[in-house]
Amino acid sequence: MSIEISETIKVIMEMTAMMDPEDDYNTIVEAEEKIKASRAQKDKELEEAHANLKALSKNLEVARQSAKRPKSVPSAEVHAATVNELDDSKLSLAKSISDAENLLASQEAELAALKEEYQSLEHYDPATEHEKDLDGTALRLKIYRGMGFDIAMNDKNQVSNVLVRSQSGDVHPVSLDVDQPQTEYTHQLWKLAAS
């Protein structure tokens, strides 16, 4: 055992020369300072990361708020329904406008026709037109009928006899003969009419 102790002491002595407590102390102090500096650096980085996290969280909240649809703005479904309703209204208005334009065009055409008719009526003389329309023969026949004389036609559309209505209301037929003079006919017709 004594050999072991002596060897142990010898090793300790050799080790003592290698061990310098001041050197170890300086190494420990230096290591502690590095640890403190490293910890301070990490704390600083952690604070910066915390500050960045707070700023990013604030930006995220602002972005969320701005991404939210305001209450005054309708939802996508309501917006789509409103757009469809406005499209239907637009089509209805377009049809109404088209109908109104068609009505206007027809009324303008009618107005033009009425203006043209007005112009023609302005130059129209009813008395002259009536004179043109009246046939002198037809007028004379009407006067004769009013006096009681009426003409009967045969199937060849020629005058065959004269019907005379007398004042008493009797009707007398007088056949026309080409050989008899006109004055005799006239005298006979007036005589029958007066009876």
pLDDT tens for 87-105 read: 999 999 999 999 999 999 9
Phi-psi region of 80 (alpha: psi -120 to 50; beta: other; left: phi over 0): alpha
**Cβ(125)–Cβ(132) below 8 Å:** no
Is 29 part of any domain?
no
What proportion of the chain, given as a percentage, has pLDDT over 70?
Answer: 93
**Cβ(194)–Cβ(167) below 8 Å:** yes
Is 7 part of any domain?
no
**Cβ(162)–Cβ(189) below 8 Å:** yes
Question: SS in 3 state form for 79-139?
Answer: HHHHHHHHHHHHHHHHHHHHHHHHHHHHHHHHHHHHHHHHHHHHCCCHHHHHHHHCCHHHH
Instruction: Specify whether 77 is located in the same domain as 96.
Output: yes
Confidence of residue 44 (pLDDT cuts 50, 70, 90): very high
Is 83 part of any domain?
yes
* Dist. CA 132–CA 80, nearest whole Å: 74
CA nearest neighbour of 165 among 130, 194, 135: 194
pLDDT at 84: 92
Instruction: Specify whether 114 is located in the same domain as 159.
Output: no
Among 124, 147, 163, residue at a domain's last position: 124
CATH of the domain at 140: 3.30.160.430
Confidence of residue 132 (pLDDT cuts 50, 70, 90): low
Work out the average pLDDT over 172-190: 80
Instruction: Specify whether 81 is located in the same domain as 103.
Output: yes
Q: In this structure, what token pair is assigned to residue 124?
A: 């129209």
Q: Domain span at residue 150?
A: 135-194
What's the total number of domains in the chain? 2
DSSP code, position 70: P
pLDDT digits (tens, 9 = 90+) for 140-172: 778 888 888 888 888 888 877 888 888 888 888
Among 81, 98, 124, residue at a domain's last position: 124
* Dist. CA 108–CA 121, nearest whole Å: 19
pLDDT at 66: 81
Is 182 part of any domain?
yes
Instruction: Specify whether 108 is located in the same domain as 144.
Output: no
Q: Is 69 helix (H, G, I), strand (E, B) or coil?
A: coil
Instruction: Specify whether 165 is located in the same domain as 144.
Output: yes
